[in-house]
A and B are shown apart, each in its own frame.
Chain A
Amino acid sequence: MSDILLKVEGLRTSFKTSDGKVNAVDDISFNVRKGKVLGIVGESGCGKSVTSLSVMRLIPKPNGFIEGGKIIFSDKDLLKISEREMRSLRGNDIAMIFQEPMTALNPVFTIGDQIGEVLELHENLRGEQKTEKCIELLELVGIPRPEKVIKEYPHQLSGGMRQRVMIAMALSCNPKLLIADEPTTALDVTIQAQVLELMNKLTDELETSVMFITHDLGVIAEMANDVIVMYAGKIVEEGDVVSIFKNPQHPYTIGLLESRPDRVDKNQRLTCIPGMVPSPFDMPKGCAFAPRCSKCMDICNEKMPELIEVKPGQKARCWLHSKGGHKE
């Protein structure tokens, strides 16, 4: 299994709240292959971002903590190494792009200062060399007149340009794994397409693995090789991108695919999944999706199904595909 860069096993991340403990991510396992893109989809609040922050070990303390599981990144268990070792990995081997390009840059420093900081920290570049590398990186992400932009402040750049700067920063040390947490959600559609194209191109060239988190299925279709669908802190379906789109197995995935606006003709109402993600304090006893599921059976309200292989390379967590679920 040498082509696996990141292996997450049984990850469980919880938050302490005034109303008790909440399992934001509940026993999830997945692999990120070398040079491939893993897409993580799901509604808001289903644990996508918490998963990515867990991998970075940046769960907000003291309320959040990782309860169990393993995060193995090139033979090292990230949950066992010291904070100092983890810091040397962050930005160097594992980099992250954030959702809001408008706020993810420090407003009081120039672009050059901020990219330079990473280069200084991990690559030990100084002076001339640092500036040159900054310009090179900005060129790489397609920013015009990079030698001017390094002297500018974040407020002088548009959202798309800022996101490019963030990408440049993330890629500055040639990370092995890039975690992109909804990198295009805050951008408008045309810029979105440009940024995606850029990410695709760069990850191909640099052979970076990507964990791509989004709630936009269109983006997943364009970017990902493998897909996991999350619901209420659990993986409900996983597989390669073609089978997920062509042949979705879990009713939630089917629902998500059906609620895309491009599938609907003019004047027709958009299909949607009724109801809302259940509150983590009030999880249904059985399958978390059962109250919203159109194919809900008796057993769904009783027991949580296991994640089982439905077809080679495609797994789903649904009684429709598990033994004991079928009526026949």
Chain B
Amino acid sequence: MEMVKHPNMNDKSVKFKEEKGLSPWTMALQRLRKNLLAMIGLVVIIMLIIMAILAPVITPHDRDATNTKNKFLSPCSEHLLGTDELGRDTFTRLIYGTRISLSVGLVSTSIAVLIGVTLGAIGGFNGGFIDNIIMRLVDIFMCFPFFVMAITIAALVGPSIWNIMLISGFLSWPRIARIVRAEVLSLKEREFIEAAKALGLNSKDIIIKHILPNILAPVIVYTTLGIAIGILSEAGLSFLGLGVKQPKPSWGNMLAAAQSLRSLRLHWWLWIPPGIMVFITILSINFLGDGLRDALDPKLKQ
């Protein structure tokens, strides 16, 4: 068939010289690169992840090896951060603790995001009865303060790393379900969703192919910040003895050393390093999260 040519259209499009068009994601990434704090956060997080993965390489000591002769050693060249009440190397446990803390944050947030996005999207897209049930469920969940609920459930089901992940995940999905539902509600009125319907797509395809990619931005931001909350709640519960159980080290249960007045006064190397690790991690994640939010929604900043 003959081609219809319009010279002015040709001129107009000459400007775009790139091989591939810039996707909204590429543009967000470019904005993120310019954000110094977010980049620092990202680098720290990547370093923490590498540290967690390479834990056995970094430290020569065995995680759980006790040595009652070397109890409460202060930092020295053999034990960089001293030893604890059972003579275990604090530095080693700190490094291994990174594994536990990061994975608790990641898994619990993944659970929350999975449930929250699914229910939020279904509720928002379908509306009516289903939406009502989901949102009332969300309301019920949000009636209870997170930490009190978490402590109660942890006390009932017993402390373990898996329980902590599940508790934290199941208690934090309502917030994300709300965010997702609100986004879907406004998105489904957009014309391209109507156009997708007019092209014969079914609801499942419309949600997965057209709605989810468009709500990815807030979900990513929430996930990042959610990981921080997950790590904090793990630390809190473990500190209270309701989280990760000894001998598995986590920053939270290492901090529990500070519960003893003697350690608090004499053995700073037992509780200051895990405290600092929690502080640095949360701060980095929050920097990255804020940076992501600014990068993904540039209108917000002005």
Quick check: B22 and A103 within 8 Å, CB to CB? no
What range describes how many residues of B lie at the interface?
Answer: 35 or more
Known interface pairs A95-B199, A121-B199. Does A144 touch B190 (Cβ–Cβ under 8 Å)?
A: no
Residue of B nearest to A110 (CB): B21
Q: Is A43 an interface residue (CB 8 A)?
A: no
Q: Is B186 an interface residue (CB 8 A)?
A: no
Smallest distance from the beta carbon of B272 to chain A beta carbons, Å? 46
Instruction: Give the contacting residue for B190; candidates A56, A103, A122; CB below 8 A.
Output: A103
Residue of A nearest to B5 (CB): A142
CA distance A169 to B195 in the complex (A): 10
CA distance A106 to B216 in the complex (A): 13
Quick check: B201 and A148 within 8 Å, CB to CB? no
Instruction: Give the residues in chain B near A139, CB-CB below 8 Å.
Output: 1, 3
Known interface pairs A153-B24, A166-B195. Does A144 touch B214 (Cβ–Cβ under 8 Å)?
A: no
Instruction: Give the residues in chain A near B213, CB-CB below 8 Å.
Output: 106, 108-109
Smallest distance from the beta carbon of A91 to chain B beta carbons, Å? 4
Quick check: B3 and A92 within 8 Å, CB to CB? no
Q: Is B260 an interface residue (CB 8 A)?
A: no
| Interface hits, A166-194 → B, CB 8 Å | 166, 169, 190, 194
Quick check: B3 and A91 within 8 Å, CB to CB? no
Smallest distance from the beta carbon of A169 to chain B beta carbons, Å? 7
CA distance A50 to B282 in the complex (A): 53
Known interface pairs A110-B23, A151-B19. Does A205 touch B4 (Cβ–Cβ under 8 Å)?
A: no
Known interface pairs A106-B214, A166-B195. Does A158 touch B12 (Cβ–Cβ under 8 Å)?
A: yes
Smallest distance from the beta carbon of A160 to chain B beta carbons, Å? 7
Q: Is A90 an interface residue (CB 8 A)?
A: yes
Number of interface residues of A (CB under 8 A): 52
Q: Is B146 an interface residue (CB 8 A)?
A: no
| Interface hits, A264-283 → B, CB 8 Å | none
Residue of B nearest to A86 (CB): B200
Q: Is A141 an interface residue (CB 8 A)?
A: yes
Q: Is A308 an interface residue (CB 8 A)?
A: no
A93-129 near B? 1/0 per residue, CB < 8 Å: 0011011100111111110000001100110000000
Quick check: A153 and B21 within 8 Å, CB to CB? yes
Known interface pairs A87-B202, A103-B190, A107-B214. Does A142 touch B21 (Cβ–Cβ under 8 Å)?
A: no
Quick check: A107 and B199 within 8 Å, CB to CB? no
| Interface hits, B187-226 → A, CB 8 Å | 190-192, 194-202, 209-210, 213-214, 216
Smallest distance from the beta carbon of B188 to chain A beta carbons, Å? 10
Quick check: A104 and B191 within 8 Å, CB to CB? yes
Quick check: A98 and B200 within 8 Å, CB to CB? no
CA distance A103 to B190 in the complex (A): 7
Smallest distance from the beta carbon of B184 to chain A beta carbons, Å? 14
Quick check: B199 and A144 within 8 Å, CB to CB? no
Instruction: Give the residues in chain B near A197, CB-CB below 8 Å.
Output: 4
Q: Is B128 an interface residue (CB 8 A)?
A: yes
Quick check: B200 and A90 within 8 Å, CB to CB? yes
CA distance A90 to B205 in the complex (A): 14
Q: Is B140 an interface residue (CB 8 A)?
A: no
Quick check: B24 and A108 within 8 Å, CB to CB? yes
Instruction: Give the residues in chain A near B10, CB-CB below 8 Å.
Output: 144
Residue of A nearest to B10 (CB): A144
Known interface pairs A90-B200, A91-B200, A160-B9. Does A117 touch B192 (Cβ–Cβ under 8 Å)?
A: no
Instruction: Give the residues in chain A near B8, CB-CB below 8 Å.
Output: 190
Q: Is A58 an interface residue (CB 8 A)?
A: yes
Quick check: A95 and B198 within 8 Å, CB to CB? yes
Quick check: A198 and B4 within 8 Å, CB to CB? yes
Q: Is A89 an interface residue (CB 8 A)?
A: yes
Q: Is B20 an interface residue (CB 8 A)?
A: yes
CA distance A27 to B130 in the complex (A): 34
Residue of A nearest to B8 (CB): A190
Quick check: A205 and B13 within 8 Å, CB to CB? no
Residue of B nearest to A99 (CB): B191
Q: Is A152 an interface residue (CB 8 A)?
A: yes
Instruction: Give the contacting residue for B16; candidates A56, A117, A152, A190; CB below 8 A.
Output: A152
Instruction: Give the residues in chain B near A89, CB-CB below 8 Å.
Output: 200
CA distance A106 to B194 in the complex (A): 11
CA distance A127 to B192 in the complex (A): 24
Instruction: Give the residues in chain B near A44, CB-CB below 8 Å.
Output: none
Residues of B whose CB lies within 8 Å of any CB of A are 1, 3-6, 8-10, 12-13, 16, 19-25, 127-128, 190-192, 194-202, 209-210, 213-214, 216
For the complex with contacts A106-B192, A153-B24, A155-B24, 12 further pairs of A-B residues with Cβ separation under 8 Å are A58-B198, A88-B200, A90-B197, A91-B200, A91-B201, A106-B196, A110-B23, A118-B199, A122-B200, A140-B3, A142-B4, A144-B10
The 7 closest A-B pairs by CB, nearest first: A142-B4, A152-B21, A91-B199, A91-B200, A90-B200, A96-B198, A104-B191
Q: List 28 A-B contacts (CB under 8 A).
A: A88-B200, A90-B198, A90-B200, A96-B195, A96-B198, A98-B191, A100-B191, A103-B190, A106-B210, A106-B214, A108-B24, A108-B213, A118-B200, A121-B200, A121-B201, A139-B3, A141-B4, A144-B10, A149-B13, A151-B19, A152-B16, A153-B23, A153-B24, A156-B21, A156-B22, A157-B13, A198-B4, A201-B4
